[in-house]
Amino acid sequence: LRMLRVLSSRGVARLGAAPRVVALRRMSDALAVPTPKSEQKSEVSEQVMDPVEKSAVSRFTGAPVEQMEKRTLKIYQQAPTVVGGVQNTLSWKVQWEDSYTQRWTNPLMGWTSTNDPLSNTHMTMDFMTKEDAIKFAQSNGWTFIVQETSHVNRQLAASGPIKYADNFRWKGGAKAAKKYRPFPDLYIPPPPPAPPKDK
């Protein structure tokens, strides 16, 4: 009862100081940990790390050295879809997509199959910023390329938003329209039929 009174008077009981949970990123993590804003930097040049020894990284992560020398990692942002929003396109992804990535259509179900497990890394690895993805690739000794994407389509921005009725508009132009019979105006009633001629 005394403990309940203490809880009701103070509101929160401090029975022990809970240790602060600090998110750490390991080189073998499959999920990305967001970088605090206080630690983020604006320029990519400041994020460049010193070259690491690939043999040391191989012993630490278990990845073969041949993978670091022959494979190329692509850092990109997912392109927005026509009917979807931009919520899933803000993060940066990494994916191995080179000559070693082999995919084929499975004849059983029609799904895409591959013998390269690294090619599916983009499904599980997300980074809040491009700099985080670059630092992750550099810390693992991987060769990478950054694919810049533009979320603003200049043509659509100049013409305005697309309407659903635009799917049914004539796209052949004025010259092409003259080759075809003009469409009748349904708002004008047709003329009355001519009277029959006397025989």
Q: What is the pLDDT of residues 69-114, one digit of tens each?
A: 777 888 988 876 666 666 667 788 888 877 777 778 888 888 888 8
Q: Does residue 134 have a pLDDT over 70?
A: yes
Count of Cβ atoms closer than 10 Å to residue 146 Cβ: 16
Average pLDDT score over residue span 6-30: 41
Tokens standing for residue 151: 């979320």
Q: Does residue 40 have a pLDDT over 50?
A: no
Looking only at the bridges linking them, the beta strands covering 143-146 and 72-77 are parallel
Predicted TM-score (pTM) of this structure: 0.47
Q: Spell out the domains of the chain, with CATH numbers in brackets.
A: 53-151 (3.30.160)
Average pLDDT score over residue span 136-146: 86
What share of the chain in percent tops pLDDT 70? 53
Q: Which residues does residue 92 pair with via DSSP β-bridges, in sequence order?
A: 77, 127
Task: Give yes or no for a contact between 90 and 79, defined as CB atoms under 8 angstroms apart.
Answer: no
Average pLDDT score over residue span 123-143: 86
Give the residue carrying structure tokens 């029959």: 196
DSSP string of the chain, one letter each residue: -HHHHHHHHHSS--SS-PPPP-----TT-SS--PPPTTT--S-SGGGPPPPPPHHHHHHHH---HHHHHH-EEEEEEPPPPSSS-SGGGSSEEEEE-STT--EEE-TTT--EEES-GGGGGGGT-EESSHHHHHHHHHHTT-EEEE-------HHHHHH-PPPGGGGGS--SHHHHHHTSPPPP-TTSPPPPPPPPPP-
Q: How many residues does the chain have?
A: 199
